[in-house]
Amino acid sequence: MRHRVAAALALLLTGVAPALSAQERAPSRFAELHPPPAPLWGPMPRQAPRPAQVGQDSPGTMVGYAVLLGTAGFFAGALAGYALETSFCDPCHEWSGFPGLYLGAGLGESIGVAAGVHLGNHRRGSLPLDALASVGAGAAGVAVAAALGHSAPLFFTPLAQIIASAAVERRTARRNDP
């Protein structure tokens, strides 16, 4: 019984398929709204570049990447600093790794912000100069907090790092563009 159903289904499908492919599609006024699908192989059709790809990208892209990579750098640097600090002490006490944790977190966040700004601008500028600006802004924030004896300036330090790195990235990108 199964063989008969399969044979009847195969005959039906082979007889209907040529009839369906012979039909033409009626013209539609919505054809320009729905472009034809891209081919599965072969060359892709050319598309006009989007406006964001023509000139410099929006600052939001650089800020987004800077926040994302700055946060990742903060935690990666903190873990690396703590591990490095505790690897050199023989009888470690419970607070022995925290200086390395703080230093690693600050440096990791600074480098992460610079890398995020650089990647957000499609690597047009200078990463070493971005990192120098970010580390400098971070050091200035720590110096201001130490001079005031209060930790409130440390909350604005990442914002200053993003602004400084973005300004250096834009300036060096203009110089590197043909």
Q: How far apart are CA 118 and CA 69, in angstroms?
A: 11
Q: For residues 53 and 174, which has the higher predicted lDDT (pLDDT)?
A: 174
Closest CA to 122 of 77, 47, 177, 178: 177
In this model, does residue 141 exceed pLDDT 90?
yes
**23-79 pLDDT, tens per residue?**
566 666 555 565 666 666 656 556 555 554 444 567 889 999 999 999 999 999 999
pLDDT band at residue 174 under the 50/70/90 scheme = confident
Mean per-residue pLDDT, 137-159: 94
**146 has a pLDDT exceeding 60:** yes
Mean pLDDT in the chain?
80
Please give the pLDDT value at position 55.
47
pLDDT of residue 136: 96
Q: Give, rounded to a whole angstrom, the gap between the first and last alpha carbons of the chain.
A: 74
Lowest mean pLDDT among 44-48, 92-96, 106-110: 44-48
Axis-axis angle for helices 59-87, 98-120 (nearest 10): 150
Given a cut of 70, whether residue 150 has pLDDT beyond it is: yes
What percent of the chain lies above the pLDDT cut of 70?
66
pLDDT at 143: 95
Mean of the pLDDT values across residues 90-94?
73
Rg for the chain (alpha carbons), in Å?
29
Question: Would you kindly state where each structural domain of the chain is located, as residue ranges?
Answer: 57-176
Asked whether the CA dihedral 133, 68, 105, 82 is positive or negative, the reply is: negative
Contacts of 45 (CB under 8 A, 6+ apart): 38
